[in-house]
Amino acid sequence: MSDLPELDIEPRVAAMLPPWTEIMQYIRKSPKRAPVEVLRAAAARGRPVVQPRCGVGGHGEMRTLLTTLEQRARPGILTITIDSFTRLKQFRTAAQALQRDPAGLNGYPLVTHGWRRGRELNELVDAPIEVRHGSPDPRELFAVSLASGFTSFEGGGIDYNLPYSKDVPLARSLAAWAQVDRLCGVLAEAGVVVDRELFGTLTAVLVPPSVSLAVCLLEARAASLAGVRCLSVAYPQGGEVHQDIAALRSIPVLARRYLPETVEIFPVLHEFMGVFPADPDVADALILYGGLTARLGGAAKVINKTNQESRGIPDADANVSGIRTTALACTDLLDFVRVDEATVEEETYWLQREVAELVEPVLAASDLPAAIADAFAGGRLDIPFSASVHARSEVIPKRDATGAIRYLSAGRLPFSRPTLRRNEQCLRVDRASLSRRLVDEIRSDIDFFLHAERRLRADRAAVETAGPGTAGPAGPGAAAPSPGGIR
């Protein structure tokens, strides 16, 4: 039986774990740099470290993947992405799949492999390892992660529930994650700081920045009250650089406003999580753009994409190249790049105002988890395109002419009139004519970066049609030259 403080876990999993004192000893005497130290150094340098996503079913294959990525791309932090059976606590099914066809798993079943193999992976590479998953109830996984020596763990009671599960009540997921966070508090008291990363990416489809930040702040508040001392707040690249920079730079500001001083906060950027261009050149450009956005926004860490994103889980080569391209954007090569600070300033003002209007009524309640669940039930908190029945998804996001994500409909979010008016002014839409085209327009907004790809292809086709030495305008049938030109 496990003697891990605060954590109620299945007896079958508990029985396999080493004693708590042994786990603490193992983590304490590890010669590796802790994730929190890597993040501190990155924040101090002003250059984000890069972290890939990676996870395969077989243990040998996972070893090879981690060492390949480390040797060829030297990411600052490595990842073990967990399979979906383990995420849903279907440990028996994960074990059967592992025996039958490990390649069929979409991640590494850590609970099934067990903490000894976890430690083997931990000791195999220099970079610290974070466990990334998507569990509404991660307690068993967290126990095995800690026993393996992993002190960076992604997720929260809102962000790993609403985008992933259909019908897990928020009260239940928040309670499970509160146990994880209280154990982090116990660890912090003993001098072991666990980096808890919050998944502000949510459904990854046109998430308005203030929704992402509000959800993370509420989770961060709950986590820090439970004793967590290190929080990475992840924000998904939306694609409009001023808005993205404003969001990243707002993370430490909002943290100072709403969180206790005892907690360290690190902004993290997830490179574009929506529909990714299939053309490898366009995909690489978007990956570079992501790295640059992270650096300009002051992120401590950036999670890279790969140019195989549109096809599914990438191979090691594509991941190596994605890490390297992202890292390139964070070197001094592109330090000359400036953005319009006045626009960032304006975005920042309105973004922080929206966040305040979303979180302050919830933070005013005495019982935070209950207030969060109530607010989602009433639509006063909401996320678009939720898989869960516990969010109303009445919010309709829409890109404005610059590509920034706005609220076409704020549903029941408690926004002030000025906030609603600002969103309307940015969108400048004729609602009567929009209603007929609404779904197509939102689809087009979702496919935002496919438009760049289409323009590139049209340009290429025009070059091929015109042939060398032809200086005249492109003939009929060629697409109009893209504004801003990709070449």
Partner 1 sequence: MSSRKTQRTVIIGVARSDAHAVANHLIAMRLREAGFLVVNLGVCTPLEDFADALAAHPDAEAVVIGSLNGHAYEDLSDLPALRAAGRLHCPMIVGGNLSVGSHKDGDERERLLRLGVDHILDDADQIPLLLDLLQAARATPLTGV
DSSP string, 315-374: -HHHHHHHHHHHHHHTSGGGTT----HHHHHHHHHHHHHHHHHHHHHHHTSSSHHHHHHH
Q: Which of residues 439-468 bind partner 1 (CB under 8 A)?
A: 439, 442-443, 446
Binding marks (x or -) toward partner 1, 195..234, rule CB under 8 A? --------x-x-----------------------------
> Given the complex with partner 1, which of 44 and 439 has the nearer CB atom?
439
Q: Judge whether 427 and 408 are in contact, CB under 8 Å.
A: yes
**Based on CB atoms, which residue is closest to partner 1, 202 or 265?**
202
Does residue number 86 form part of the binding site for partner 1 (CB under 8 A)?
Answer: no
* Shortest distance in whole angstroms from residue 423 CB to partner 1: 18
Number of residues that bind partner 1 (CB under 8 A): 18
Residue 322, Cβ density class (10 Å: 0-12 exposed, 13-18 middle, ≥19 buried): buried
| 173 binding partner 1? (CB under 8 A) | no
Q: Six-digit token pair at 425?
A: 């002014």
- What H or E segment, with its residue span, contains residue 265? strand 264-270
- Burial degree of 84 (CB within 10 A; 0-12, 13-18, 19+): middle
Q: Inter-axis angle of helices 241-258 and 341-363, to 10 degrees? A: 40
At residue 367's C-alpha, the angle toward residues 365 and 370, to 5°, is 100
- From edge to edge, which strands make up the β-sheet containing 129-132? 49-51, 301-303, 264-270, 230-236, 195-199, 152-154, 129-132, 78-81
User: Which residues form the catalytic set?
Assistant: 87, 154
Single out the residue of 221, 220, 222 nearest to residue 231, CA to CA. 220
Instruction: Compare residues 343 and 393 and give the one whose CB is closer to partner 1.
Output: 393
- Using the rule CB under 8 A, which residue among 25, 262, 425, 435 binds partner 1? 435
Asked if residue 436 binds partner 1 (CB under 8 A), the reply is yes
Toward partner 1, which CB reaches closer, 291 or 384? 384
Angstrom CA distances, 357 to 158, 221, 362, 395, stand at: 19, 16, 9, 15
Kindly identify the residues of this chain, within the stretch 365-404, that bind partner 1 according to CB under 8 A. 384-387, 389, 393, 396
In the complex, what is the shortest distance from the CB of residue 232 to partner 1, in angstroms, rounded to a whole number? 26
CB of 166 to partner 1, least distance (A): 5
* Site for partner 1 contains 256 (CB under 8 A): no
Q: How far is the CB of 446 from partner 1 (least distance, A)?
A: 7
Stretch that binds partner 1, among 109-117, 183-191, 303-311, 430-438 (CB under 8 A): 430-438
Q: Which two tokens stand for residue 317?
A: 């080569």
Q: Which of residues 133-172 bind partner 1 (CB under 8 A)?
A: 164, 166
Decide whether 67 or 393 has the Cβ nearer to partner 1.
393
Cβ 165 to partner 1, closest distance in Å?
9
Q: How far is the CB of 439 from partner 1 (least distance, A)?
A: 5
Rounded CA-CA distance 319/82 in Å is 17
CB of 67 or CB of 84, closer to partner 1: 84
Binding site for partner 1 (CB under 8 A): 164, 166, 203, 205, 384-387, 389, 393, 396, 435-436, 438-439, 442-443, 446
